[in-house]
Structure 1
Amino acid sequence: MKRLYTFIAALFIFLGFAFFLTKNASSTATTSKNKIPTIGILQLMTHPALNEIHQGFVAGLKEYGYTPGKNIKIDFQNAQGDQSNLKTMSTKFVNENVSLMAGIATPAAQALANVAGKKTPVILAGITNPSGSGLVKTDKHPGANITGTSGESPLQKQLALLKKVLPNVKKIGIIYTSSDHGGTYNAEKFAALCKQEGIAYKLYTISGTNDMQQVAQQMVSQVDAVYAPQDNEVAAAMKTLVEVANKSKVPVFAAADTMVKDGGLASYAISQYKLGKVAGEMAAQVLRGRKTSNFPIEYITKGEYVINTKEAKLLGITLPSDVVKKAESKGEVFK
């Protein structure tokens, strides 16, 4: 009888231990299953073009069923143009062990790449010349943990538009930020196209938004048209540039749709929102297990005509009727 009691007691202990292990394993599995991935989004600064990329990125995630606050968490950080903030915020993402990071603007993407090593996936959202900035090995085979979208400006079509609006243009001022990789890249390529076309040009540089008014005043006194490339500091100071240019009746042709909205006369532009949206869709695929190393950079190349009729009226410029029709039917018109 004593042996029977001992056996029964041992059986209860065994069953209790087994129940504890099963419950604990079940709890762990449930926790793992219900764990919500966190995405760290780092934006260089605030201006309309980057803001639209951010909005598009979130929309792209939603296309694949990832909704912030529901089945993903987004940690959004804005460095406000401060390099030290970029480093601090990037490190914060790594310390939080986020599932994926996204960089909006080249300096933000570079900061993320520096801290991510080859571990955490990094998605580029609208980065100019990713391979040239050292972010990926090649566009077709990025080679590590980084991929995303690139917004190469359709420079030839933008110059063609400028010439169509101003057939007698003599000299174009091209303004960009000396420390902005994308701005420098676009400005120099546009200058090369002007040279090929036999159009005189002059390059003007700013180091930041605070320089815009002074440099713009000098520029508009020496040229009869201005080209503002895809450049973060120029985009952030676009209203200042336009205000100065308008006083001298010098039109500003811009690279981005948002820059036309801020007072540029016209552009053949790529949608910044679409750049972000496709990047968000790519991020969703990476979250589902797609490898970044052979996930090609996605180039958004098709643009649309964007015009500012209020600006045209102010400057006394008649925009070509076919350009107006295309902007009205498939592009965008700001009045």
Structure 2
Amino acid sequence: MIAFISALVVFLGVAFFATGGPKSTSGATTKKVPTVGILQLQTHPALDAIHRGVLAGLKEYGYVPGKTVKIDYQNAQGDQSNLKTMSQKFVNEGADETVAIATPAAQALATAAKDETPVILAGITDPSGSGLIKSDQHPGGNITGTSGESPLKSHLDFLKKLVPNAKKIGIIYTTSDHGGEYNAKKFARICKQEGVAYKLYTIANTNDMQQVAETMASQVDAVYAPQDNGVASAMKTLVSVTNKANVPVIPAVDTMVKAGGLATLSVDQYQLGKLSGEMAARVLKGKSTANYPIKVISKGKMTLNLSAAKKLGITFPADVLKEAKTKGVIYK
């Protein structure tokens, strides 16, 4: 009997070590759920669409918020000090990667990350010119993502088609928005090349829009509103002034048309965000940001605002209406 008990003890001991000791009752190894910090500059339709797209892109690669990934979403509501605090919060709490919606958010995240935590850009204009990366093909560090390059030459051609009698174009941008300034000045260069008269106008923040818009509307025949966060946020103020002066506004983004602009050829902000989310997912799975090229969407989708056209006494050409009906969006 003693010999039997001794043998049983030896057998159980061997079995214990062979199976690696006791396991959890579920029998499964706990897998760490990654955390993704999303920092958005402020609330407005274009940036909100990018945010929704980021979540959809992550989900497509198996990262479902609340299940297989933890999303820490922060909105700075246009406050620069909030951007700094929120960016540092992500780093302090050990986020596995962060996503930037708007250039100021990207700059704040890049500073906080200190070349370590991966930063995914979501529709950032001119990321290399912003000092965020070395080049679009070889970002060279912890940052990559998408760039929403506006089809500026197409915008000018579209403006001339819709407002053929416009002799001078007003171009407005926010001085603190690198992307807005980049787009506005590039559009101005195209105007110069095409022999189109223009004048640049600037706002420091949305509070300036009323006064600047009134001055601009008295001096130009049409307005171009580039992809610019400050201008987008003050779009309703802008069009309320220009409509009274019977001056059409051609914006860069479809959500700005919905807010009162006449028409545009717009890069789809949701799809831009979705592509960023897909890139974020691949980085979570181990892809290096350093040699992960920036991806660009630059083909615009036609968007028209029939109500704005009626207020301005403008009739859309038949071919424009046809394309918008079949491939684009029409707001009534």
Does residue 1:100 correspond to 2:97, yes or no? yes
Question: Aligned AA for 2:113?
Answer: A
1:188 to partner: Cα distance: 0.3
- Are 2:39 and 1:39 aligned? no
Q: Quick one: distance in 2 between partners of 1:196 and 1:178?
A: 24
Given residue 304 of structure 2, which amino acid in structure 1 is its aligned partner?
I
RMSD of equivalent CA atoms: 2.4
Match of 1:73 in 2: 70
1:115 aligns with 2:93: no
Partner of residue 228 from structure 2, selected from 221, 227, 231: 231
The code of the aligned residue for 1:253 comes to I
| Structure 1: gaps (5+ residues) | none
List per-residue Cα deviations over 1:175-195 (Å, max 9, x = no partner): 100111000000001111111
Q: What SS does the aligned partner of 2:224 have?
A: strand
3-state DSSP class of the match of 1:103? strand
Instruction: Find the partner of 2:238 among 238, 241, 262.
Output: 241
Number of equivalences: 332
> Where does residue 87 of structure 1 map in the other structure?
84
Residue 32 of structure 2 corresponds to residue 22 of structure 1: no
Q: 1:116 is matched by which residue type in structure 2?
A: A
Deviation at residue 28 of structure 1 after TM alignment: 12
Aligned residue for 1:189, secondary structure, equals helix
- SS of the residue 1:168 aligns to: coil
**Counterparts in 2 of 1:288 and 1:221: CA distance versus 1, 3 Å:** same
- Structure whose residues are more often helix by fraction: 1
Structure 1: distance between partners of 2:311 and 2:166: 19
Residues 51-66 of structure 1: pairs in structure 2 closer than 5 A? 51-66=48-63
Aligned residue for 1:263, secondary structure, equals coil
Q: Alignment partner for residue 310 of structure 1, among 291, 307, 310?
A: 307
Amino acid in structure 1 at the alignment position of 2:220: V
* Percent identity between the two aligned chains: 66
Work out which of the residue numbers 306, 309, 327 in structure 1 matches 2:324.
Answer: 327
- Map 1:185-334 onto structure 2 (within 5 A): 185-334=182-331
Bigger Cα displacement from structure 2, 192-201 vs 120-129: 192-201
User: 1:129 — aligned with what?
Assistant: 126
**Which whole-Å CA distance do the structure 2 matches of 1:108 and 1:220 have between them?**
32
Q: What are the ranges of 5 or more consecutive residues in structure 2 without an aligned counterpart?
A: none
Q: Counterparts of 1:42 and 1:303 in 2: how far apart (Å)?
A: 26
AA of the residue aligned to 2:21: T
**Deviation per CA, 1:114-144, whole angstroms, max 9, x where unpaired?**
1112221110000000111011111011111
* 2:302 partner SS: strand
Counterparts of 1:13 and 1:271, CA distance in 2: 64
Cα distance change, pair 214–122 in 1 and its aligned pair in 2 (3 A): same
In 2: Cα distance, 1:197 partner to 1:168 partner: 15
One-letter identity of the residue aligned with 1:72: V
Deviation at 1:65, TM superposition (A): 1.8
What TM-score do you get using the length of structure 2 for normalisation?
A: 0.93
